[in-house]
């Protein structure tokens, strides 16, 4: 279910637009917000790739260094750019756009500022931005009624996956790649940079071996066994959100292609 995954181009385009707008308020350091990262399995099982290309595209967050000191915005800059001030009065008093999700939860985001305007340009509206970025919170609970089905898939795939990884030069089991990257990848890359070197080799092997054993597909099949009724009941809305997600990706590519 591709709605679970956030396209890196969308996050990059929002950062570009926010950074350009921020110049009007004297902020020249760029805006580098994290907009989620990496594919997410509908089952909630972490670090699942559909192919080596997907793994190479994203890599591992544990191989990125996000501790670089950054300049701090003033209170007025933060309000103008982000729509709120983290050091000022309560954020509850700032203008917000809210959306009620089907499960009853209410999510919100700042409705003013450069970042809000950037999201509107890419997603079409702040409401659609909230619906798309929070879809994962609807999907995961629907598939948690019988976790044993996912555990069975992982147990069956484990021997072939481990053999494949060993042949690629990595003596690790499924789920250990993130820890391996944290311990063995040096120097760490900056957030947003593409994987390279040993991290790229690991991602290529990890994604390729998962693809070889058909892990993502088998987990998807197990999910639909558990949550098929929920998917059928929400099919029309899911298809509508998928169209909005594709439209946002096309807008993001237009933004990035024009810079």
CB 252 within 8 A of CB 123: no
- Would you place residue 194 in the very low, low, confident or very high pLDDT band (cuts 50, 70, 90)? confident
Pair of tokens at residue 239: 């298809």
DSSP string, 53-113: HHHHHH--GGGB----------HHHHHHHHSS-SSSS-GGGS-EEEEE-TTS-EEEEE-SS
- Would you place residue 236 in the very low, low, confident or very high pLDDT band (cuts 50, 70, 90)? very high
CB 44 within 8 A of CB 144: yes
- Would you place residue 209 in the very low, low, confident or very high pLDDT band (cuts 50, 70, 90)? very high
CA neighbor of 33 nearest in space, from 119, 154, 141: 119
Give pLDDT tens digits for 111-167: 999 999 999 999 999 999 999 999 988 888 888 889 999 999 999 999 999 999 999
- Would you place residue 82 in the very low, low, confident or very high pLDDT band (cuts 50, 70, 90)? very high
CA neighbor of 112 nearest in space, from 142, 83, 147, 152: 83
* pLDDT (0 to 100) of residue 66: 66
Total-model pTM? 0.81
- Would you place residue 38 in the very low, low, confident or very high pLDDT band (cuts 50, 70, 90)? low
pLDDT over 60 (residue 90): no
pLDDT over 60 (residue 64): yes
CA neighbor of 170 nearest in space, from 184, 156, 155, 149: 184
pLDDT over 90 (residue 56): yes
CB 189 within 8 A of CB 195: yes
Mean local confidence (pLDDT), 12-30: 97
CB 226 within 8 A of CB 149: yes
DSSP state of 182: H
CA distance 151 to 144: 12
CB 130 within 8 A of CB 179: no
pLDDT over 90 (residue 193): no
Mean local confidence (pLDDT), 75-98: 85
CA distance 208 to 216: 12
């Amino acid at each position: 279910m591709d709605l679970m995954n956030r396209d890196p181009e969308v996050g990059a385009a929002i950062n570009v637009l926010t950074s350009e707008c921020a110049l009007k308020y004297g902020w020249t350091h760029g805006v580098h917000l994290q907009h989620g990262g990496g594919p997410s399995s509908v089952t909630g099982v972490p670090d699942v790739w559909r192919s080596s290309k997907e793994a190479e595209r994203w890599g591992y967050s544990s191989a990125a260094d996000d501790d670089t000191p950054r300049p701090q915005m003033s209170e007025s800059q933060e309000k103008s750019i982000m729509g709120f001030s983290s050091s000022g009065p309560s954020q509850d008093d700032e203008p917000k756009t809210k959306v009620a999700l089907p499960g009853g939860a209410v999510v919100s985001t700042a409705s003013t500022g450069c970042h809000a305007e950037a999201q509107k340009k890419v997603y079409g509206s702040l409401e659609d931005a909230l619906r798309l970025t929070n879809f994962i919170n609807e999907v995961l609970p629907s598939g948690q009624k019988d976790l044993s089905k996912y555990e069975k898939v992982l147990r069956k795939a484990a021997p072939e996956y481990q053999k494949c990884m060993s042949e690629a030069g990595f003596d690790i089991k499924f789920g250990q790649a993130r820890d391996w990257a944290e311990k063995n990848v040096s120097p760490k890359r900056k957030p947003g940079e593409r994987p390279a070197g040993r991290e790229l080799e690991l991602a290529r092997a990890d994604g390729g071996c998962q693809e070889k054993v058909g892990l993502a597909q088998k987990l998807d099949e197990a999910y639909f066994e558990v949550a098929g009724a929920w998917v059928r009941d929400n099919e029309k809305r899911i298809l509508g959100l998928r169209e909005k997600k594709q439209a946002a990706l096309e807008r993001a590519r237009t933004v990035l292609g024009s810079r």
